[in-house]
């Protein structure tokens, strides 16, 4: 059964990772409080819940989060509503990405943080 699942996942997504974890640098951050995932198996992407500070969307003005991969390409972005303190992002199954909090109204970068995704890569 597991072998069939592995073959099916590899055919559709190309990468299977067991027990993925996400570490987000939050020291002295005015926007980010942390990141977590509940996925025990990730196929291609890891659903990651990013927790924001209470003032991220109000006093800091964050309206969107962008995920930038190691090559500098934007691989995911999502709007952030005023007052929202938890956002789900799709991250790669392993490696390092940069999460950029932006204010799309005035076109500024509010804060940038690195996130490292680790896990046991099966395929």
- C-alpha distances (whole Å) from 54 to each of 7, 32, 33, 70, 75 are 43, 9, 9, 29, 26
- pLDDT of 8 strictly over 60: no
pLDDT for 103: 98
Per-residue pLDDT of 39-58, as tens digits, reads 889 988 999 999 999 999 99
Q: What is the token pair recorded at 35?
A: 């990141």
CATH architecture of 2-121: Sandwich (2.60)
Q: Is 6 helix (H, G, I), strand (E, B) or coil?
A: helix
- Between the two ends of the chain, the Cα-to-Cα distance in Å is 16
pLDDT for 14: 56
Q: Are 111 and 32 contacting, i.e. CB atoms less than 8 angstroms apart? A: yes
Q: Are 90 and 78 contacting, i.e. CB atoms less than 8 angstroms apart? A: no
Per-residue pLDDT of 91-119, as tens digits, reads 999 899 999 999 999 999 999 999 999 99
Per-residue pLDDT of 72-88, as tens digits, reads 999 999 999 999 999 99
Question: Sorting pLDDT into bands at 50, 70 and 90, what band is 123?
Answer: low
Could you state, in order of their start, the residue ranges of all structural domains in the chain? 2-121
Q: 1-5, 16-20, 44-48, 84-88: lowest mean pLDDT where?
A: 1-5
Q: What does the pLDDT average to over 63-78?
A: 96
Q: What does the pLDDT average to over 31-46?
A: 92
């Amino acid at each position: 059964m597991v072998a069939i699942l592995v073959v099916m996942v590899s055919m559709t997504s190309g990468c299977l990772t067991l027990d993925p974890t996400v570490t987000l640098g939050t020291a002295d951050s005015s926007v980010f409080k942390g990141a977590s995932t509940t996925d025990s198996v990730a196929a291609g992407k890891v659903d990651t819940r990013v927790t924001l500070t209470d003032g991220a969307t109000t006093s800091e003005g964050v309206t969107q989060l962008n995920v930038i991969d190691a090559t500098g390409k934007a691989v995911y972005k999502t709007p952030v509503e005023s007052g929202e303190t938890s956002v789900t992002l799709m991250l790669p199954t392993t490696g390092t990405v940069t999460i950029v909090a932006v204010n799309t109204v005035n076109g500024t970068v509010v804060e940038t943080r690195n996130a490292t995704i680790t896990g046991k890569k099966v395929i």
